């Protein structure tokens, strides 16, 4: 028992002194503003996929969350907190519901659905 503890202690000492953590080099391909949150589930409790391909033409805005209330809803888009009437990336926020955000740009309406919402 003492021998295994001594071996572990030596190994940990060597690792801490000479070991180097492996770090990614160059451009890291994950963009937290655009890519899926790894902590958010891919399916709901009924086995249905939560993530679907974005059919909206608003590809330069990324809906990251919705904080819905009947009086003052807000959404997180492109790492910014926005409300109705605010502008983001040339879009104007027209409406925020519990699972959708309605944007307008150049007279064209875009509805972005929050796919991470849990089904009730």
Span 11-61, pLDDT tens digits: 777 666 666 555 555 565 556 655 666 666 766 777 766 654 444 556 688
> What's the CATH number of domain 31-120, 2.30.30.830, 3.20.20.10, 1.10.230.10, 1.10.238.10?
2.30.30.830
Q: Which pLDDT value is given to residue 119?
A: 46
Q: Which pLDDT value is given to residue 93?
A: 95
Q: What is the pTM of this model?
A: 0.52
Q: Write down the residue that tokens 């790492």 correspond to.
A: 79
CA dihedral sign, ordered 47, 53, 58, 61: positive
Domain ranges of the chain: 31-120
**Higher pLDDT among residues 85 and 62, named by residue:** 85
Cα distance between residue 62 and residue 71, in whole Å: 24
SS3 84: coil
Is the Cβ–Cβ distance between 95 and 108 less than 8 Å? no
């Amino acid at each position: 028992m003492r021998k295994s503890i001594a071996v572990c202690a030596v190994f940990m000492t060597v690792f801490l002194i000479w070991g180097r953590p492996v770090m990614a080099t160059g451009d890291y391909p994950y963009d937290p503003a655009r890519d899926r949150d790894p902590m958010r589930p891919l399916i709901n409790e009924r086995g249905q996929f939560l993530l679907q391909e974005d059919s909206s033409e608003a590809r330069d805005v990324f809906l990251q969350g919705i904080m819905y209330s009947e009086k003052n809803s807000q959404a997180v888009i492109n790492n910014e907190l926005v409300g109705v009437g605010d502008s983001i990336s040339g879009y104007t926020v027209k409406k925020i519901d519990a699972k959708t955000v309605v944007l307008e740009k150049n007279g064209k309406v875009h509805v972005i659905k929050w796919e991470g919402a849990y089904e009730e």
